[in-house]
Amino acid sequence: MARPEDLGGSLDAAARARLDAGEHEGLAKELARANRHAEAGWVLEQIWDFAGATAHYLSGGRVLDALRTAIESAAPAAWQSVFQVLADAREQPELLHEAARQLERRGRHDDAAQVLELAEARPELRAAALMNAGDRLAAAQTLAEAGLPRRALETLGPLDTLAGHHGADGGAQRLHPQLSNPASASSAREHALAAALSWDLGDAEATARHAQRARRAGALEGELGRQVRTLLARALSSLGHDLAGQLVLAEADDDEPERSPSELAPQGRYRVTATLPAAYAGAAYVGVDRVSLQEVELHLLVAEYGEIERPGPAVHQALDRFAAAALRASALGHPAIRPVLRIDTEIGLLAMPRREGPVLRSLIRPPGLEQATARARSMVAFMLDGLAAGHAAGLVHGSLLPSQIVCDALGRPLLGPFGAHHLSGLMATRTGGLEELLSMTPPEQRGGAEPTQAGDVYMVGALWAALLAGQFAPSLDDLPAGDQDEIALLIDEDPRARPTARETLTRLRTPVEDLSTLAGGGPSPEDSMRGPAPLDPRLGRALDVVAADSWTDTELDLLCTARNPWLQNILDREGRVFRLAAWPDGCHTLDATSDWQRLVDPLALELLDPGSEPNAPESDDLRDLNVTLREAVIARMDGAAIVVTAAGELMLALDSLLRR
């Protein structure tokens, strides 16, 4: 196809003379009648009749020339005529792509995106054109519809400032701007899309945050409002706020009543896989948390109440008192206190991680641990350490029954939820028998007194005796001589004569975190109570760190992908919570003002290179990934983020960097 400037070369001398005489329009008509539309278009282009030139170029089959003159004409009708021809040329992708490139060069990014859509071009190309046009919402929507939620979320970019772009004043209009406001409407729709994308990516927290911002920006009514309400309700339910999720759905439009999504039912979050003996009250099950994919124990504390026999106020008061104590103790984060994942007093739901070892009750059997007193002392010391932490916080456990104490994978006993004695009135039956209950309950509590910290100490002493003898309520003479005096103090009839948990722990002088002592040391090879082989004392030690808000999700993804021997090991990650390997004994950090760059091997920074890893996030330029992570780490570095190991090696401390 001849270039536009060559079209005039096909005119004869007479035609050129007419052009010199200014007869462009007449010559163009004659050329058109002779079916020479391309030359006619060229002639009209010389006198800037771009709309007329466009029509003739289209008639002559010169679509790209017609596109060029349509852009010059700035007439909507001219562009529409060209676009219609392009729409009919879907089977000519090369033509469409060239047309899109021409539009991009002229800054017509919206039109370029339309043409790329006609060509069924890759969504990334269409999104890039829309981004160049300044329409990031449409760009993100394009990527979302193509099944690229993470790329779509990155295209939306940071949205936190959009919901708060209104001034400091403005009253109700500032809090609830209407969708008729273009800036407000854009913000609401962008946050609504971000909420949907976050939900697709499994980030319930981000879903709730963006859905709330969308509502503040005006997404309250119509189809957009319904979508945002549903996303917010689902996210709140996934985060354990079922009632809040139901309240959000209660705001449904009068003409469009909404039904609660099935996953908002409290039991809908969990998939039950097996039954368990009820250690506290009601019924118990093993299940899987569909949100965290964690295996959990589910205790339905009021399951014995039927549909008609609803729990009364006294029952709910007991559940509230239990929940207050259990959650406070769980929040201490002590390794000897079994964590509580969730308590819903409205429905009587208690969720905890599934136990990894046996129930302590199964260890109280002949011949006992009389030949393994060190193991028994370690178990008792571990429980006393957790009990002392709870007592220091002003809590009383009240129910140290061996049927409610489970062991972890290392054989360490974990105290059940504090305040479980408040549930005693709910129990029609107990997992433990009458013998267990009578032997473990302090005498003053059997007489009707309220549980106390001294009563907790009595229960520990009774447990210690039962573990050594392999039976409940043994006489002191049946116990090893070296432990008789200490156990006698713990189970003294007078509560005032009993030592505190901390005092007892000090006298035992047993390292409560020495896992090798606790896990091993069985009485004999033939004894079924013997523990596993000695373990590395560092096994099982880890610490959880929540990444500071200054870290972006992309930077955290890159950090998990980079394999760098100088980095503190990442054992697990859930969202912004990182589980890191704890530093062994003998480590220390440098002074914060140290010249760390001079001390650290340059490879420690050069190997912050996730771009070459198979699980690295997608990027058009892998170098960008490496620079992003390296800059994120270096910006937070100082001497205090360098750990010197016992062997004299230097490592980058993620437990410090992630908090910055």
Query: Model confidence over 580-625: pLDDT tens digits?
Result: 877 777 788 888 888 888 888 777 777 776 544 444 445 444 455 5
Residues 361-386, mean pLDDT to the nearest whole number: 87
Residue 282 has pLDDT above 80, yes or no: no
Residues 388-416, mean pLDDT to the nearest whole number: 90
Residue 177 has pLDDT above 50, yes or no: no
C-beta of residue 155 within 8 angstroms of C-beta of residue 143: yes
Residues 210-223, mean pLDDT to the nearest whole number: 82
Task: Say what the pLDDT of residue 386 is.
Answer: 93
Residues 175-201, mean pLDDT to the nearest whole number: 64
**Euclidean distance between CA atoms 420 and 532, whole angstroms:** 32
Task: Say what the pLDDT of residue 114 is.
Answer: 64
Q: Which residue has the higher pLDDT, 399 or 173?
A: 399
Residue 182 has pLDDT above 60, yes or no: no
Q: Which tokens hold the place of 463?
A: 């447990």
Task: Say what the pLDDT of residue 397 is.
Answer: 94
Least confident of 136-145, 389-398, 438-447: 136-145
Describe the strand order of the beta sheet including 542-546 as a list of residue ranges.
542-546, 577-581, 570-574
Least confident of 88-92, 288-292, 457-461: 88-92
Q: Which tokens hold the place of 85?
A: 């021809």
C-beta of residue 314 within 8 angstroms of C-beta of residue 302: no
Residues 92-113, mean pLDDT to the nearest whole number: 68
Task: Say what the pLDDT of residue 569 is.
Answer: 79
Task: Say what the pLDDT of residue 116 is.
Answer: 62
Residue 334 has pLDDT above 70, yes or no: yes
Q: Which residues, including other chains, have CB under 8 Å from residue 365's CB and lie 6 or more apart? A: 470, 471, 529
Least confident of 107-116, 202-211, 459-468: 107-116
**Euclidean distance between CA atoms 553 and 154, whole angstroms:** 10
**CA distances, 155 to each of 102, 127, 208, 448, 660 (Å):** 24, 9, 19, 66, 26
Residues 194-207, mean pLDDT to the nearest whole number: 81
Task: Say what the pLDDT of residue 258 is.
Answer: 52
Q: What is the mean pLDDT of the chain?
A: 74
Task: Say what the pLDDT of residue 140 is.
Answer: 75
Task: Say what the pLDDT of residue 465 is.
Answer: 94
Residues 306-332, mean pLDDT to the nearest whole number: 82
Task: Say what the pLDDT of residue 167 is.
Answer: 36
Q: Which residue has the higher pLDDT, 461 or 293?
A: 461
Provide the β-strand partners of residue 414.
Answer: 406
How many Cβ atoms from other residues are within 10 Å of residue 206's Cβ? 20
